[in-house]
Amino acid sequence: MNLEPLRRLQSKYSAALVAAAAFLLASCGGGGASSSPTGVGNLQLLPGTGSIYAGVPYTFNIAGGRAPYLVTSSEPTLVELNFTTSSNQFTFVARNPGVVDVGLDPDEVPRRTVSIQVRDSNGASISNEYSVLQNFFTGYSTFYSSTCATAGTGPAPEACSGTDTIVSFFPISQGTLYGNREFQLDRVRGDYSFVPEPPGDTPQLVNQMRIRTDHTGRANARLRVAINAPTQIASYRLTDVATGVTTNFLFMIVQQAPIGVITVLPGGAVTFTGPNAGTCGFGSSDQFVFDGTPPYTITPPANVQVSPISLTANGSRFTITVGQGFPVTACPNGSVIIQDAQGRIASVTVSSVPGTTSIPITVSPLPLPALTCTVNTTQAAVVGGNGPLQVVSNHPRVFATISGNVLSVLRAANGDGATIYPTTASLAITDGTTLAATAITVTVPANCP
C-alpha cells in the first residue's frame, strides 16, 4: 500500500497545531504568565486602625492595588510620610504630639488623630485614621497622698508644712508598666526632703534617693516638708536609671497648722508663790507630754529653767524650775513652749509671785546709845520690810537716814542757840506698808549751843 499521501496530510496537520499554539502564546504576551490590571485585589492599608506610640518604630503593610504607591500623612510634622514605594511595607516613627485632640478624658493618654493615605498607580486610594499617643517613659500617672487639712469638701493639698507626703509613680512606656525598674529622685527646689525607707536608714532626710517599682509597676517615695515652710511651688526630677530619661514634676506646698494637738499634763498655769511679801516664788513642777509626733523641743522663758530641753518619746517628763533671789519687782514669768517634730505647739504658763505675808522690820542693837553734842552719831542694822525703807524723825535737831540695811542717826552738834529741845527723839521706819514693830527712841542733849 502507498502511505505517502497519509504522511503528508499528518505533517500539515501538525504544522497547523504548532502555528495555532504560537498565536495563542503571542496573544498572551509571550512565554510567561502575566496579570491584568483589572484582575488585582482592592487596595488595603494594614492594620486598618489602631494606636501608635510616639518614638516607637511601626511597620505597615500595603495589600492589593498596583505598585508603585504614594504614601502621605495628614500631619507630616507628626508622622513624616511623603514618598513613593514599590514595596508592600513601610516603617516610620511618630513624634510626640504637642497638640492633642479636644474632648479627651483627663485620665486618657494624650493623643492626636492622624490620617495615613495610600494611592496606587491605577488611581485607587485608601485613607485610615490612627491615634498617635504621647510616650514619655517616666509616666503618665503621679498621685500625692498627704495628711494635710482640707478646705471644705475639696481635696487635700499635695503637701503642707511639717508633714509627710507619699508620691506614687506609675512609669509607662508604649502603654506598658515596668516592674522591678530603678528610678532616681532629685530635689530641685523647695523646702522639703526625701525620706529613705526603712525608718532606720541614716541619714533620714536626703536630697537624692533611688526607688524601685514593684511587680505592679508602681513606685512610692516619701517627702517630708520643713516645719513652718511657706506656701510655695516645689519641684523634683525623676530619672529612669537604665536609659537616663528624665521628667520634671511640680507640686504645691501649703503652709498650714498641722492636724492634731500636743497634750501637756498637768499643764495649765504653774504659779510659784513666795513665803512673804518680800520674796518671789520659787520651786519646781513636773510636766508630762503626750500626743503629737516626737521628738519634742522645750524652750523656757528668761530666768526659768527646764530639764531636759528635748524629749524623744511620747509620755516623757520634763521639770520646770524657778530659783530664788529675784527682787520682787522682777519675779520670773513667761511661757514654756513645747514643739513637736511636725510643728505642733503647746505651752505652760509660769508665774513667780511674792507672798502676801508682811516681813517685820527690826532694828539692832536696841536701845540706841545716847548721843551728846560731841558724840552725836550712831548706827544700827535694819532688816525686814518689802523693798526700800524710809525713816522719819520727830525731833527737829535729830536727823536719820537708811542706806541699804544701815540706819544712821545724827544730833546736830551746834546751832541750838538758847532754845531748849526735847531730850528724846522718836524714829519711825517703814517700807510704805509696814512700820517697825518696836518703837525706836534715842536720848539726845536738850541744847547744843
- Asked, for residue 24, whether it belongs to a domain, the answer is no
Tell the residue number behind the cell numbers 499617643, with chain if given.
133
Which pLDDT score is estimated for 175?
A: 80
In this structure, the answer to whether residues 145 and 122 fall within a common structural domain is: no
Output the pTM of the full model.
0.55
- Asked, for residue 343, whether it belongs to a domain, the answer is yes
Bridge-based pairing of strands 44-46 and 310-311 is unpaired
Neighbours of 205 (CB within 10 A): 11
In this structure, the answer to whether residues 220 and 270 fall within a common structural domain is: no
- Asked, for residue 437, whether it belongs to a domain, the answer is yes
Q: What is the CATH number of the domain that holds 415?
A: 2.60.40
Q: What is the CATH number of the domain that holds 175?
A: 2.60.40.10
Domain termination site, one of 117, 133, 149: 133
CA geometry: angle at 362 spanning 359 and 368, to 5°?
170
Which pLDDT score is estimated for 139?
A: 64
The boundaries of the domain holding residue 98 are 39-133
When divided into structural domains, the chain yields a total of 4
Contact 228, 252 (CB under 8 A): no
Exposure pattern of 255-288 as b/e (b: 16+ CB <10 Å)? bbebeeebebeebeebebbbebbbbbbbeebebe
Domain termination site, one of 197, 229, 254: 254
Domain termination site, one of 254, 279, 301: 254
Over the chain (449 residues), the average pLDDT of each successive run of 10 is: 46 44 39 43 94 93 96 96 96 94 89 97 96 80 87 84 91 85 96 87 86 93 92 95 90 88 93 89 96 94 95 95 91 95 91 87 90 93 83 93 92 91 92 73 93
- Asked, for residue 15, whether it belongs to a domain, the answer is no
CA distances from 428 to 361, 368, 385, 432, 439 (A): 11, 14, 13, 11, 7
